[in-house]
Amino acid sequence: MAEDFNQGYITGQKIETGVLVRSFMSNVFLWMTFAMVVTSITAYLFASSAELLATLMDPVTHKMTGLGWIVFLGPFGFVLLMSFGFQRLSPGVLALLFITFAVLMGMSLSFILLAYTAVSVYKTFAVTAGMFGVMAVLGYSTKTDLSRFGAIMFMGLIGIVIAMLINFFLASPALDYLISVIGVVVFTGLTAYDVQKLKRIGSGAAGDNLDVNLRKLSILGALTLYLDFINLFLFLLRFLGNRK
């Protein structure tokens, strides 16, 4: 690849940009995988323990507890904090926030394990992993610029959010089905776009604090791909999941 002959700098040593990109992307996927493991373990622990679930939702009134509301709203706040606090936060703090975010997501997704059969959840997870992997490889290897494609996917994402808000009041099964279809398409496409975007970030990185910046960028990149995977999984579960 032509970019492999370009030169980058990290901690004062000259290295090939191709090596820098591969190292950066490896860290991104390692952080994402670690977060997925944390989320999965947390979801399993809460789904299999009535005592832990009771800390999120009152078993008698079926109303969310204070912790339940934190779990419900917290992940959104963590995403905003990590994104807008990137310049001020250290790699260690970002890592701690990301791990905490993964735990909160696991607590939230524990209800999914209760609503659907274990077999259908595992099957959907496997399908999601396969689709995500294919699109990640495509995004990393393609020579085509996916920027315009990504813009279309982002507009689709905005459309999904608006449609979900509307359907919250309409409760239309037909609209819900359409949202699910579009959701699968959007997050499948965003996976390829985000991987290519992260590859470009890795290849274009420069500066005196490159090592620190790349560590922080790898965590934010992992967060981006984590969200792509989770949302793709949830939309696919609407089609492939069997409710108990």
Residue 207 gets the label, from left (phi > 0), alpha (psi -120 to 50) or beta, of left
The full length of the chain comes to 244
What is the predicted pLDDT for the residue at 202?
A: 82
Q: Is the Cβ–Cβ distance between 140 and 25 less than 8 Å?
A: yes
Domain ranges for the chain:
2-240
* Phi-psi sector, 6: left (phi>0), alpha (psi -120 to 50), beta: beta
CA dist., res. 118 & res. 75, Å (int):
24
pLDDT per residue as tens digits for the range 14-54? 446 677 888 899 999 999 999 999 999 999 999 999 898 88
Gap between the Cα atoms of 148 and 125, Å rounded = 29
Q: By CB neighbour count within 10 A (0-12 exposed, 13-18 middle, 19+ buried), where does 160 fall?
A: buried
Strand partners, 97: none
Cα–Cα distance measured from residue 239 to residue 244, given in angstroms and rounded to the nearest whole number: 14
What digits encode the pLDDT tens for the residues 92-105? Answer: 999 999 999 999 99
If one compares 241 and 158, the residue with the highest pLDDT of the two is: 158
Q: What pLDDT, in 10s, does the model give residues 185-228?
A: 999 999 999 999 999 988 776 544 567 788 899 999 999 999 99
pLDDT of residue 210: 60
pLDDT at 108: 93
What is the overall mean pLDDT for the chain? 88
Single-letter residue type at 119:
V
**Residues 104 and 78: beta-carbon distance below 8 Å:** yes
Cβ atoms of residues 135 and 191 within 8 Å: yes
What letter would DSSP give residue 11? T
Tell me the DSSP string of 153-209. HHHHHHHHHHHHHHHHHH--HHHHHHHHHHHHHHHHHHHHHHHHHHHHHHHH--STT
Q: Percentage of residues in the chain with pLDDT exceeding 90? A: 66
